[in-house]
Amino acid sequence: MNGARFADFAVHSRFLIVVSGIPSPVSLVMNSRSLPAKIALSAAVVALLLGVQAMLGRYFNEYVQQIVLYAGINIILAVSLNLINGITGQFSLGHAGFMAAGAYSAAAFTFYVGPQITARFQNEAAGSNVVFIVALLLSAAAAGIAGLLVGLPSLRLRGDYLAIVTLGFGQIIIVLITNIREVGGAAGMTGLPLMTNFVWVAALMVLCVLSVRNLAISHLGRSMKAVREDEVAAEAVGVDTTRAKVLAFVISSMWAGVAGALQAHYIQSAHPGSFTFIRSIEVVIMVVLGGLGSITGAVVTAVLLTGLTEVLRSITGAFAVGLSLVLFAAVLTLPRYRSAMRQSAMGWLLWLRWPLLSGVALVAGFVFGRDWLEARVAALRFVIYALILIVLMLLRPQGLLGRGELSWSSLRRSRSATTPEAEGASERSEPVDEGVRGTL
């Protein structure tokens, strides 16, 4: 039960209780039924975004703006992948492929057709916005079709096989793109117009999170969750599992395509190398770390991992992240040794042997091998990602939030009331570590 306890700890820490008196802005929008109210609220949101953008441009340098934008794009990616991997319980390793489909179709449109459309407008900004809207729709459509093609085999495949097939599809999309000369082939496309800005990313991010959240609690979303829990049982009680699975793939890849288009029109280029398997894995890590099935978890970890990418550019950052990982692992293993610790002081040693060993190794590496590590900091980033993934799977496979959501109402909830869903999740996926048991 350490899972539920940890969630309790996260939810009831003092800081969050202070915040929880404020009504949720999301619920304000969602609960207002009348159309004028919705329009007014949406206008207010856009005005707010424009204000934030002006502020970002004025008070923060380009580096910070870039991180904020990447965080937004990563949120779209993580939340959309969560629809397949978390809510529907399938496993896709091809998210970067869908991104590529969206990025390239949008890029081709803005590059080849865009200038002609912009020329017809008096106002250049208006023209470019119209072009971008069409490009975004196109990217969603292209990626959605790709998602449909991948969703179809998912009807027959489960678990690890599906993972490999989606990986394969992602790879095939990249190979196909590399062979189209019009979009630059292996060299990629450069010279795209800069169209993505904070307002676009933030608005689409909010739209993505809201749409996935609303989908998850809708009839279709419940079908998807039924497929996740037990596909055969769902089928038996009349859930249209085919529809649920295929739609999950289509909707998820549409958002991935949009994220790809946003990215391509921010860095003003599209390159096959930025949509490889590793990119898919990055998104998978976000979803798994946040907790498969938790939308807020995906949002939090998308921001976290975007920040981590920057932190891991320096060796000091890598060291700090490494130490935090060791601490995290130590905290997670604590409950297993609690009874041993009560019996004797040896219990403490048992608990701390791995954290101490790895901590000492880290410090030694940092002190004596600094120059050596400095030269390898690029590879080190992915080594740390890999370690995060392994430690997480070994110690807390349900992720940080499990299937629970970090919501405004959950912050107010009393300590005893954990959602039955989160409870069940942590119970089911509780790791049984035979090795540890044997030593006790």
Partner 1 sequence: MDITQQLINGLTQGSIYALIALGYTMVYGVLRLINFAHGDVYMLGAYGGFFAASALGVTSLIDKGGSAGILQVAAIFAIGMLACALIGIFIERFAYRPLRSSPRLTSLITAIGVSMLLEFGGQAVFTPEPRPFPALIDNRFLQVTIVGTALALMVGLQLIVTRTRVGRAMRAVSLDRAAASLMGINTDVIIAFTFALGSALAAAAGILNSIYTPTIDPLLGVMAGLKAFVAAVLGGIGNIPGAVLGGLLMGFAETAVVAAGYSSYRDAVAFGILILVLLLRPSGLLGRVAAEKV
Binding mask 231-260 for partner 1 (x = CB under 8 A): -x----------------------------
Nearest to 383 by CA among 319, 296, 303: 319
Binding mask 69-88 for partner 1 (x = CB under 8 A): --------------------
Q: What is the largest CA-CA distance in the chain?
A: 81
Q: In the set 178, 242, 309, 419, which binds partner 1 (CB under 8 A)?
A: 178
Which residue is listed with tokens 């292209």? 142
Q: Does 160 bind partner 1 (CB under 8 A)?
A: yes
**Residues found in the chain:** 440
| H-assigned helices in 334-376 | 338-343, 346-368, 370-374
Q: In the set 18, 360, 393, 440, which binds partner 1 (CB under 8 A)?
A: 393
- By CB under 8 A, what part of segment 265-294 binds partner 1? 277-278, 281, 284, 288
Q: Which is nearer to partner 1, 94 or 102 (CB)?
A: 94
User: Which of 101-109, 137-145, 194-202, 392-400 is the region at the interface with partner 1 (rule: CB under 8 A)?
Assistant: 392-400
DSSP string, 316-337: HHHHHHHHHHHHHHHHHHGGGG
Q: In the set 120, 156, 181, 342, which binds partner 1 (CB under 8 A)?
A: 156
What backbone torsions phi and psi does residue 324 show, to the nearest 5 degrees?
-65, -35
Which residues sit opposite 410 in a β-bridge? none
Residue 190 parent element (H or E): strand 189-190
Structure tokens at 425: 């999740």
Q: Which is nearer to partner 1, 236 or 417 (CB)?
A: 236
Q: Does 66 bind partner 1 (CB under 8 A)?
A: no
- By CB under 8 A, what part of segment 328-387 binds partner 1? 373, 376, 378-383, 385-387
| Total of chain residues touching partner 1, rule CB under 8 A | 51
SS3 270: strand
Q: Does 397 bind partner 1 (CB under 8 A)?
A: yes
CB of 70 to partner 1, least distance (A): 20
Question: How far apart are the C-alpha atoms of 285 and 176, rounded to whole Å?
Answer: 26
Count CA within 13 A, CB hemisphere, residue 423. Answer: 5
Q: In the set 7, 87, 100, 165, which binds partner 1 (CB under 8 A)?
A: 165
- By CB under 8 A, what part of segment 215-234 binds partner 1? 232
Q: Which is nearer to partner 1, 165 or 202 (CB)?
A: 165
Q: Are 394 and 354 in contact (CB under 8 A)?
A: no
End-to-end CA distance of the chain: 19
Q: In the set 18, 43, 175, 346, which binds partner 1 (CB under 8 A)?
A: 175
Q: Are 53 and 198 in contact (CB under 8 A)?
A: yes
User: Which of 205-213, 265-273, 345-353, 431-439 is the region at the interface with partner 1 (rule: CB under 8 A)?
Assistant: 431-439
CB of 306 to partner 1, least distance (A): 18
Centre a 10 Å sphere on the Cβ of residue 34 and count the other Cβ atoms it contains.
Answer: 8
Question: How far apart are the C-alpha atoms of 310 and 327, rounded to whole Å?
Answer: 21
What backbone torsions phi and psi does residue 277 show, to the nearest 5 degrees?
-50, -40
Q: Which is nearer to partner 1, 247 or 384 (CB)?
A: 384
Binding mask 11-50 for partner 1 (x = CB under 8 A): ----------------------------------------
Q: Are 345 and 434 in contact (CB under 8 A)?
A: no
Residues forming the site for partner 1 (CB under 8 A): 91, 93, 153, 156-157, 159-161, 163-165, 167-169, 171-172, 175-176, 178-179, 232, 277-278, 281, 284, 288, 373, 376, 378-383, 385-390, 393-394, 397, 428-429, 431-436
